[in-house]
Amino acid sequence: MPTATATATLTYAEHGATRGRLPSGYHHIDRRELIGHGPDVFDRAAVALTTWQMHRGAGLAVAASAPVAAEGSVVTLEIGWRRLSVSARCRVVYVVDEPHRRGFAYGTLAGHPERGEEAFVVELRDNAVWCHIRAFSAPASLISRISGPAGRMVQQMVTSRYLAALRTLATHR
Output the domain CATH number for residue 130.
Answer: 3.30.530.20
Q: What is the mean pLDDT of residues 136-144?
A: 79
Domain annotation covers residue 17: no
Q: Is 57 a member of any domain?
A: yes
Sign of the CA dihedral running 95, 3, 140, 161 = negative
Position 5 in a domain = no
Contact 62, 56 (CB under 8 A): yes
Structural domain total, the chain: 1
Q: Is residue 21 part of a domain?
A: no
| Residue 36: Cβ within 10 Å count | 19
Residue 20 DSSP symbol: S
CA proximity to 54, closest of 9, 86, 102, 6: 102
Name which of 121, 93, 133 is nearest 12 in CA terms.
Answer: 93
Phi, psi dihedrals of residue 4, rounded to the nearest 5°: -60, -40
φ, ψ of residue 145 in degrees (nearest 5): -65, -45
The range of the structural domain enclosing residue 109 comes to: 27-171
> Could you tell me the pTM of the whole model?
0.91
Q: How far apart are CA 121 and CA 30, in angstroms?
A: 12
Would you say residue 11 lies in a domain? no
- Banded model confidence at residue 4, pLDDT cuts 50, 70, 90: very low
Q: Is 114 part of any domain?
A: yes
Domain annotation covers residue 15:
no
- Give the pLDDT score at 2: 44
The proportion of the chain whose per-residue pLDDT surpasses 70, expressed as a percent, equals 87
Is residue 38 assigned to a domain?
A: yes
Distance CA 69, CA 88 (A): 16
User: CA 88, CA 80: separation in Å to the nearest integer?
Assistant: 11
* pLDDT tens per residue across span 9-45: 899 999 999 999 999 999 999 999 999 999 999 999 9
